[in-house]
Amino acid sequence: MHISEGVLSAPVLGGGAALTFAGLAIGLRKMDYEKLPEVAVLSSVFFIASLIHVPIGPSAAHLILNGICGALLGWMAFPAIFVGLTLQAILFEFGGLTSLGVNTFNMAFPAVVMGYFCRHFLKSPSVPVRVVSEFITGAGAILMSGLLVAACLVLALGESMDSAAKLVILAHIPIMIIEGLITVFVIEFILKVQPEMLPGTFNASR
């Protein structure tokens, strides 16, 4: 879902940069020393997962795993995703430095929203409730990111929201399913071996 340089207008780029700056400020404020290794690992996972991408007009389809980042990190997903996107822009020219703010917000904000949604339902001892919420977290984060990308394209290019959303969302339907399943597997595994990584959750191994 990287938006390339030269596509968006200055107001959209400025708005995205401002929102990302705010998200980074909150994420860094909530970060403590003990969480740094976890943030670094998830930033690396995000970086690697989105290396393989398929161009779709001014954007691209690829794994993001932002739902997992949000569930594990909350607001700290902002700095984790920002670092990954910065390295991708510098090393591989995915997206770009001018669109870094927009791209970060488009991927990190859905991570935060769906992460808190997931954490609420992870308190349930019911396996079906947890599994459904985990799947929605992974797939929903991609859906929200796709809608944000479509909104940016509409604001910058004047395309109809209908056509922009269809192009981005339809291309990412397989990604939504895959990420939903990956999120279920990863979070259920974490709940069994190290549930303290997800604050306030039910220990699935009991």
- Give me the pLDDT at residue 60, please: 56
Neighbours of 14 (CB within 10 A): 13
Question: Does the structure show a pLDDT above 60 at 103?
Answer: yes
- Give me the pLDDT at residue 126, please: 87
Among residues of the chain, what percentage have pLDDT more than 90? 42
Question: Does the structure show a pLDDT above 90 at 166?
Answer: no
> pLDDT tens, 53-72?
655 555 556 788 999 999 99
What is the CATH topology of the domain spanning 10-197? Arp2/3 complex 21 kDa subunit ARPC3 (1.10.1760)
Place of tokens 């999120």: 183
pTM: 0.85
Q: Phi then psi for 166, rounded to 5 degrees?
A: -60, -45
Beta carbons within 8 Å of 1's beta carbon, 6+ residues apart: 59, 60, 61, 62, 64, 103, 106, 107, 145, 146, 149, 168, 172
What are the boundaries of each domain within the chain?
10-197
Question: Does the structure show a pLDDT above 70 at 167?
Answer: yes
- Give me the pLDDT at residue 112, please: 95
